[in-house]
């Protein structure tokens, strides 16, 4: 199960892939983390799926991360008396608080927070942006809109508000219940949808209290405006290009993707690129050339992980989709240009001992052509620092905590192994060398760089860099 690539693959589970056998196939094909989407999962299904993943984890003998994706506030119009209406450009339609069925001139909007926040001139995008309205008049219970781009609008279609900052948090009552269920099931990551402000992350952190990593999904223009603050407060981010592309001009999304990847790496936070990566593989066994280029671009940019959504959850070829993404990533990372592109994106380490040690480990490993970098990490922060350097050499992350190695399975380049804490400095060297040997990263006579903290087992105390030889039986010597 040693990967031949450093970028990670996150695969969504669903009706097409929810059996234990398929989950194992996906893991062996290349999936490092599994996503459970609470928009489509009950709490019972969440626990059942978690149990299957943990059985597969034992079968493949590798830590597997689980991301539980909270639904977030879903804004939708009400129903029409004919099921749908045809709106033409220039028409006027009113969104109101009347619960009766709508027609071509009005429809119910069951979201009081929109009436409070929207202003004249703001855009409303319906049905994933297919229909655009503009607010021309607003009262406490009515929003009068001009149709800018018309089309067929049917019952319960979604509403997006790119110009409006809603006064409610990103967590609904359903999300709070789902969050508690995810923590009870021991999920490694929870994803927060439709983040608008840093306070959304703070609200979730009060509940999570370190029991899972918090991943902020960036899919609202309002989040872009406060991106640096949101990244700082999150444990990771996801570039959710689907909704982002609905609420912002499509041509701005590629540039935002590059900006977010670099900003997240600067702050030492894992970043996932998601949505429509191999969309055609929902129905076809091979992707389009454009999709291959899209995945490759994310890998070249140094993203920590790339994600499959409906391709693995509901598509006809879930295992092939993961296998295809794996092959693309391997090919990119073996390309002669890959390392030079990654190297040009280098960032300066922060002025801390742990950052200085991680930067030095990369430089030493590459200068001396060492076999691997072995890093001891209790909380996971040292492993993330080592990955932020994007070294050419493999990184083996050792931790006594199963929760830590599972969480780090999302992070670029980390081959995670659970092991007991070392008892002394000799054990630090012996354990690092024997695991690097056992896991296939080093052969007898090779050298490895080892980072650890003294006193041993102290979280966040990385202050030691050693170079060790791997002996004939895998035992090391300094």
**How much is the pLDDT for 453?**
86
User: Which residue, chain included where needed, has tokens 């083996």?
Assistant: 396
35 catalytic, yes or no? yes
Looking at residue 345, its pLDDT comes to 84
Angle, CA of 202, 207 and 209, to the nearest 5°: 85
Instruction: Catalytic residue, from 6, 35, 269, 388: name it.
Output: 35
Per-residue confidence band for 1, with pLDDT thresholds at 50, 70 and 90: confident
The sheet carrying 123-126 orders its strands as: 106-108, 92-96, 142-149, 131-138, 123-126, 159-160
CA dihedral 196, 217, 301, 375 (to 10 degrees): 120
Please state, in angstroms and rounded to a whole number, the distance separating the CA atoms of residues 98 and 103: 12
pLDDT value of residue 407: 98
Examine the pLDDT at 457 and tell me if it is beyond 80: no
Q: How far apart are CA 410 and CA 20, in angstroms?
A: 21
% residues pLDDT > 70 (the chain): 99
Q: Are 343 and 366 in contact (CB under 8 A)?
A: no
Band (pLDDT 50/70/90 cuts) for residue 260 is: very high
**pLDDT at position 477:** 64
What pLDDT score does 398 carry?
A: 97
Active site annotation includes 217 = yes
Find the catalytic residue in 74, 76, 79, 176: 76
Decide: helix, strand or coil at residue 355: helix
Angle at 99 between CA 97 and CA 105, to 5 degrees: 75
Spatial CA neighbour of 236 closest among 212, 206, 252: 212
SS3 labels along 157-177:
CEEECCCCCCCCCCCCHHHHH
pLDDT at 354: 86
Note if 99 is an active site residue.
no
Give the model confidence (pLDDT) of 300-340 as tens digits.
Answer: 999 999 999 999 999 999 999 999 999 999 999 999 999 99
Contact 395, 470 (CB under 8 A): no
Mean pLDDT of the chain: 95
What's the pTM?
A: 0.94
Does the pLDDT value for residue 476 go beyond 70?
no
Q: 75-116, pLDDT tens digit by residue?
A: 999 999 999 999 999 999 999 999 999 999 999 999 999 999
Pairwise CA distance, residues 192 & 204, whole Å: 8
The pLDDT of 134-158, averaged and rounded, is 96
pLDDT tens-digit map of 114-131: 999 999 999 999 998 999
Q: How far is residue 258's CA from residue 250's CA, in Å, rounded to a whole number?
A: 14
User: What is the model's pLDDT at position 168?
Assistant: 81
Q: State the DSSP string of 28-45.
A: HHT--EEEEETTS--HHH
Among residues 217, 269, 393, 406, the one annotated as catalytic is: 217
**Is 226 a known active-site residue?**
no
Contact 69, 37 (CB under 8 A): yes
| Domains defined along the chain, listed by start | 8-72+171-337 (3.20.20.60), 84-160 (2.40.33.10), 353-477 (3.40.1380.20)
- Of 12, 49, 275, 324, the active-site residue reads 275
Confirm if 147 and 90 have CB atoms less than 8 A apart. Answer: yes
pLDDT tens per residue, range 338-360 = 999 998 888 888 888 889 999 99
């Amino acid at each position: 199960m040693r990967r031949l690539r450093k970028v990670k693959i996150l695969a969504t589970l669903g009706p097409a892939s929810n059996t234990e056998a398929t989950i194992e196939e996906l893991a062996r094909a290349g999936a490092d983390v599994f996503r459970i989407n609470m928009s489509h999962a009950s709490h019972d299904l969440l626990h059942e799926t978690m149990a299957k993943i943990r059985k597969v984890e034992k079968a493949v003998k590798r830590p597997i991360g689980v991301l539980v994706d909270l639904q977030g506030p879903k804004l939708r119009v009400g129903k029409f008396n004919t099921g749908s209406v045809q709106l033409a450009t220039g028409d006027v339609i009113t969104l109101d608080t009347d619960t009766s069925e709508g027609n071509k001139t009005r429809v119910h909007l069951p979201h009081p927070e929109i009436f409070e926040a929207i202003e004249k001139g703001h855009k409303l995008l319906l049905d994933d942006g297919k229909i655009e309205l503009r607010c021309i008049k607003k009262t406490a219970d009515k929003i009068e809109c001009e149709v800018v781009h018309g089309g067929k609008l049917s019952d319960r279609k979604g509403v997006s508000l790119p110009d409006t900052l809603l006064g409610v948090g990103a967590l609904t009552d359903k999300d709070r219940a789902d969050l508690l269920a995810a923590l009870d099931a021991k999920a490694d990551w929870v994803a927060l949808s439709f983040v608008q402000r840093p306070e959304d992350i703070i609200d979730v952190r009060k509940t999570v209290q370190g029991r899972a990593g918090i991943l902020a999904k960036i899919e609202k223009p309002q989040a872009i405006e406060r991106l640096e603050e949101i990244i700082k407060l999150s444990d990771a981010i996801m570039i959710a290009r689907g909704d982002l592309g609905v609420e912002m001009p499509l041509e701005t999304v590629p540039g935002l993707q590059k900006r977010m990847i670099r900003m997240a790496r600067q702050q030492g936070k894992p970043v996932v690129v998601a949505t429509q990566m191999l969309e055609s593989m929902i129905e076809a066994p091979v992707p389009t050339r454009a999709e291959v280029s899209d995945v490759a671009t994310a890998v070249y940019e140094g993203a920590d992980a790339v994600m499959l959504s409906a391709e693995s959850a509901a598509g006809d070829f879930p295992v092939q989709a993961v296998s295809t993404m794996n092959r693309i990533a391997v090919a990119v990372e073996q390309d002669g240009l890959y390392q030079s592109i990654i190297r040009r994106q280098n960032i300066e380490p922060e002025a801390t001992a742990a950052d200085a040690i991680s930067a030095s480990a990369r430089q030493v490993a590459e200068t001396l052509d060492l076999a691997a970098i072995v890093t001891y990490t209790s909380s996971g922060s040292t492993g993330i620092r080592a990955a932020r350097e994007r070294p050419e050499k493999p990184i083996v992350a050792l931790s006594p905590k199963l929760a830590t190695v599972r969480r780090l399975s999302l992070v670029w380049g980390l081959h995670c192994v659970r092991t007991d804490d070392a008892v002394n400095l000799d054990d630090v060297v012996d354990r690092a060398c024997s695991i690097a040997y056992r896991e296939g990263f080093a052969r007898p006579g090779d050298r490895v760089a080892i980072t650890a903290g003294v006193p041993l087992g102290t979280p966040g105390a990385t202050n030691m860099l050693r170079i060790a030889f791997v002996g004939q039986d895998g035992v090391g010597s300094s």
